[in-house]
A and B are shown apart, each in its own frame.
Chain A
């Protein structure tokens, strides 16, 4: 309960000068602020929880720290006011794709008081190639409409058959894929079948309709050695080319990261389990971290939850506003800047306003 109260207060503080109006529902505040932009859909919010990596030890034992991260996110969403219309789960519910882990995750997520849309991550997939996930949890790719916005869910963690066939057992395959800095790794892709499906799905959607794509891996290329990489990203981007307003939300990278490629805005989600450093802190291979990114503070391992969090997305007039809720750190709001033509960190974009230590060395 205590955690929930704090989180709600933190959330309201995150809305800037609106603290005084903290008892007024957010929707009323938005109306009072007046309309802007060219969106036609109704305003709404959704929560985004990602990458809890629940890990089975043995019997009924799971890694306590990762369980508590997911539970904290669930409790916070349940205590939000107004309640988000739904939650998106961004993938990597399990650490090694085990049924025990997926079942345990679904049990924890059943406490969530809003509907949930699922995206699969590589940790959920590479033990049985998504069979249990499809049977018990969700389809791997699908679309839906919500208040004038078209949502598409893609399974972006597929890879080459030659890599899949390289391993003797499903467990070996899973273990190889689970290691981030694996020199034997293989890049992710969406695949031609899904791209064909995507084209068909978007056929009857008007170009002015706000489009939100949900994936696990980023649908662009950041750093190949850690598989922050989708090999056929350009193909997917070209399918989305004709839309005025496209936003991709993804998990996988466990850090604050955003980008703009042509008409597409990209936002990464936090992990509830553990943070990852930015690839630029390992300078042995070239990386393509977007220049506009303002890095998070370096994590303090003294705080179990530092460098982790979840996000709250405000779809305001067809442009999204990303509220990063960093549990042991200062909240961040990243929103699309019309004049700059890309997302910007609302407080820390200017070097002189950054928090120390915000540079990696």
Chain B
């Protein structure tokens, strides 16, 4: 049944709610303008520089004896990171016996042909290797699972 009191109450609370929201956006907008996200071109440059520095560290590791125990280097079998196929991971990796990530395969190579010790998955060296490998295979189509 129609109740005029209830209608009036609802109408009042709606107006109040509207005022509150408008006030909030006014304050938030002003604060954002002063303290908010300061994104501009220099941010992107900074991030790109950080990425390319990581790629360069990866390239150095990939072409040096540091990762292994027998002076063998990743680039011997993988010039320009070819035949690493990062775009195919995760995939079933026969030598590991399960669906594996690129990081697991990097460690397999470090332990076997390079006769070295595996890296922690969050080791900056591991991240640098991954960055270099992915960068060399940029523009490849993602085909997870492919052999």
Contact = CB atoms under 8 A, between A and B. Distances in A.
Interface string A252-276: 0000000000000000000000111
A216 B70 CA distance: 26
A301 B95 contact: yes
A322 B138 CA distance: 37
A302 interface: yes
15 contacts: A53-B76, A63-B70, A64-B70, A95-B71, A180-B76, A181-B79, A225-B80, A226-B79, A277-B79, A281-B83, A282-B82, A299-B77, A301-B77, A301-B95, A357-B147
B63 interface: yes
Interface residues of A, number: 28
Contact of A65 (B85, B95, B109, B113): B113
Contact of B77 (A61, A64, A275): A275
A276 B77 contact: yes
B102 interface: no
B72 interface: yes
Contacts of B146: 361
B5 interface: no
Given A55-B72, A63-B71, A284 B80 contact: yes
A167 B107 CA distance: 34
Interface string B57-97: 00000010000001110011111101101000000001100
A19 interface: no
Interface string A199-225: 000000000000000000000000001
Interface string A59-80: 0010111000000000000000
Contacts of B70: 55, 57, 61, 63-64
Contacts of B80: 181, 225-226, 282, 284
Contact of A277 (B83, B109, B147): B83
Interface residues of B, number: 24
A63 B79 contact: no
Given A55-B72, A281-B83, A299-B83, A179 B77 contact: no
Interface in A95-145: 95
A53 B75 CA distance: 14
A298 interface: yes
Interface of A: 53, 55-57, 61, 63-65, 95, 179-181, 225-226, 274-277, 281-282, 284, 298-302, 357, 361
Given A181-B80, A274-B77, 9 more contacts: A56-B71, A63-B71, A95-B71, A180-B75, A299-B83, A302-B94, A361-B140, A361-B143, A361-B146
B82 A277 contact: yes
A301 B94 CA distance: 9
Interface string B134-147: 00100010010011
Given A57-B71, A179-B63, A302 B79 contact: no
Contacts of B85: 361
Contacts of A53: 76
Contacts of A298: 83
A354 B85 CA distance: 21
A274 B114 CA distance: 13
A181 B94 contact: no
Contacts of A64: 70
A298 B143 CA distance: 16
A301 B147 contact: no
Contacts of A56: 71
Contacts of B72: 55, 63, 65
